[in-house]
Structure 1
């Protein structure tokens, strides 16, 4: 089975065309900025970035800018948030329209212990720290960040099994492991990790059917094809899993008629799993896809042009 590129491109285009036309569209407004990034990045990896209107994308992103905080909300008039701010910056970078926006919100949300809030309400999470570090890297503003304080909090979120939780003392989870590994990669501090123990824990996420799960005793899910693979790539241990079985699992989750990729076979496809399934296949060396940078989940050519690319391992194409 091969990747159904044309169907996936049309699937993403149809999502954009459903704008304002359904209850589901309005019920997911809190994810809109992230969804635009997921769809656009998947298209870029599939060499179809021009399938969405550039000017309309930029107009939407800028309509979500919050002049009070300097960040971006997920939809016009929504509060700014770290998650949507990173997605906004990535969209603008993908469309070669990156202004110096966003760093004010990012920097003001760091707490004294090195962690980051997601917004003004105070919730902390390793996702928000990664978003902050990645956003500052894209904006060329990493020099504004207290590196040691940031690295210190990441390392305090590590667990004895080698994994990372969303905060200190929380259960290890593959997605949180990615946020911590990628943040340390950007800050050039991967050498401060117990890399073998972490990579062993990540490799243990592969189940007999070939897919990857996020925690022990959980079902496989296509999105972990990114969180686990990207982490192993940055740790130079991508070969610790069975790549052929994982590739087959991702491809089996495609919708052969309507396009898109689901979390697992026979489920409904969505743009989130489409993005991370496609990105995972790129790391696995799919010859029809653009190279992807596991630190940022962005095209490698773009991160090289921005001067922010970090070392990683990928399988041969």
Structure 2
């Protein structure tokens, strides 16, 4: 018998399964893409590409691919014509030397670069240099792939047309420090010359590996389209040396471990040796699984992030209109087991006490912190890249590290907002950042309840699986295009040299062997 409910149930009652209200979410994202964003987003003016990434990625996640659409499927929120216009808008953010700026207002007219040295990336007038940054560059590339015309596979191959691949890869290399880490941008300090701006942030390390995977391709040194790579070994050493005493990851080994940094570290190591064609299932990363100092400890730390969510205290009985203060959100709302292995047992005990199985599992990003939607993604994405989120191996007797049903229930019942989108915490209004990550983790879980509602998601590149395929085809076309341009230029010079040689030879018949050279 349930001690708390007294309902006479010997076994927990099975309750109705929560569901994702796709129509409400689409209405929310339609409002975000077609109407001005609320004034609170004004502080993100320099991050417009980031906002566009969250919106377009979310709409793509909720839009079935052409092969799965039916007569009942609503028209896509972003038309083919709008995708073309948005693609042009993204390319307007490209810096002349490579990379992308966060907003087009940071890209000055080309004549402003008359005094700019494109080799040293310095200027006699530093204020006119513009400021491409590593984060916006990744968002731009992801956006171009997300905006592919899925109705036309040939057109999808051209989504990177106009991207300065060579300039961007060279610019990316210039952002790496001697210790292997990456900065955010290049800046000029009067009297001191160029320096790498931005803190020591694990996010930049992950972003560098993602840009490299998207653009670099497999081009041999000396071949057309080859660009010198950054120091991947130094980057790997920097990341591996940032594991903390409690086996998580941070900006360095002395900082507090954080789930976001753990995801970035793990995903970066995965991308460093990820095959260039891995649309379906990325192969196991040898670098990831053989180089981390304490891999079991890292998995243990990640598995300690989920906890049994406790409801906030009831409002005071003498108040009819009690309003929770912001500080109330920091009150403890978790029930942690002694070890991660005891979480399932704790869930079972709690369910038995409540008389039903409606248990909510939330996630935090640091020890003793409260629940947050985005941490479900950072933890879940990290575990997915480690191959630990889904335990579908029938030969394995190990218990899953995450109760996906209870976690999904928390996300849909506590974080899903009535107008659509997801909030940061229970009761919070929806926002672009948490709204996107809520959908991303659902796409990663690939739960039967979301089949046909949310596309499957890639844990390493943070785009739908279909978009990874677009990136692979577009990268190949971009590399081939650059190689073709170089070859055509060289061929033209070769023809000129041949004609000059024949003229000096004094005329006569052309040698027969010359025809085999294409001249």
Indicate whether the TM-score tops 0.5: yes
Q: Is the counterpart of residue 303 in structure 1 residue 476 in structure 2?
A: no
Q: 1:50-199 alignment to 2 at 5 Å? A: 50-52=76-78, 53-68=82-97, 70-78=98-106, 79-96=131-148, 97-99=159-161, 100-101=163-164, 102-120=168-186, 121-141=197-217, 144-188=229-273, 189-191=287-289, 192-193=291-292, 194-199=294-299
Q: Could you list the per-position Cα deviations for residues 126-156 of structure 1 after superposition, in whole angstroms to 9, with x for gaps in the alignment?
A: 1001111101111135872322111011111
The more displaced of 125-134 and 94-103 is: 94-103
Question: Unpaired segments of 5 or more residues in structure 1?
Answer: 309-317
Equivalent in the alignment of 2:44: 28
Q: Is the counterpart of residue 269 in structure 1 residue 430 in structure 2?
A: yes
Q: Could you list the per-position Cα deviations for residues 133-180 of structure 1 after superposition, in whole angstroms to 9, with x for gaps in the alignment?
A: 101111135872322111011111111212110234221100000000
Of 399, 405, 417, 1:255 maps to 417
Question: Unpaired segments of 5 or more residues in structure 2?
Answer: 1-17, 66-75, 107-130, 149-158, 187-196, 219-227, 274-286, 310-360, 390-399, 474-519
Structure 1 stretches of at least 4 aligned residues deviating more than 4 Å after TM superposition: none
Question: Partners in 2 of 1:152 and 1:25 — Cα distance?
Answer: 37
**1:205/1:216 contact within 8 Å kept:** yes
How far did residue 25 of structure 1 move? 4.4
Question: Partners in 2 of 1:138 and 1:244 — Cα distance?
Answer: 34
The more displaced of 188-197 and 171-180 is: 188-197
**SS of equivalent residue, structure 1 residue 207:** strand
CA gap of 1:222–1:118, structure 2 versus 1, over 3 A, is same
Q: 1:214-253 alignment to 2 at 5 Å? A: 214-238=365-389, 239-252=400-413, 253=415
**1:116/1:132 contact within 8 Å kept:** yes
**SS of equivalent residue, structure 1 residue 64:** coil
Structure (1 or 2) with the larger CA radius of gyration: 2
How far did residue 307 of structure 1 move? 4.4
Equivalent in the alignment of 2:300: 200
Equivalent in the alignment of 1:41: 57
How many residues in Structure 1 have an aligned counterpart in Structure 2? 305
Question: Partners in 1 of 2:381 and 2:43 — Cα distance?
Answer: 30
Equivalent in the alignment of 2:392: none
How far did residue 305 of structure 1 move? 4.9
**1:126/1:166 contact within 8 Å kept:** yes
Question: Partners in 2 of 1:105 and 1:9 — Cα distance?
Answer: 37
Question: Partners in 2 of 1:174 and 1:250 — Cα distance?
Answer: 18
Q: CA RMSD in A?
A: 2.0
TM-score using structure 2 length = 0.56
Question: Partners in 2 of 1:15 and 1:214 — Cα distance?
Answer: 27
**1:151/1:184 contact within 8 Å kept:** yes
**2:169/2:212 contact within 8 Å kept:** yes
Equivalent in the alignment of 2:20: 3
Question: Partners in 2 of 1:227 and 1:124 — Cα distance?
Answer: 19
**2:185/2:198 contact within 8 Å kept:** yes
Question: Partners in 2 of 1:206 and 1:147 — Cα distance?
Answer: 33
Question: Partners in 1 of 2:198 and 2:462 — Cα distance?
Answer: 26
Q: Could you list the per-position Cα deviations for residues 159-211 of structure 1 after superposition, in whole angstroms to 9, with x for gaps in the alignment?
A: 12121102342211000000000000111311212322111101101121211
How far did residue 103 of structure 1 move? 2.3
TM-score using structure 1 length = 0.90
The more displaced of 185-194 and 211-220 is: 185-194
Equivalent in the alignment of 1:18: 35
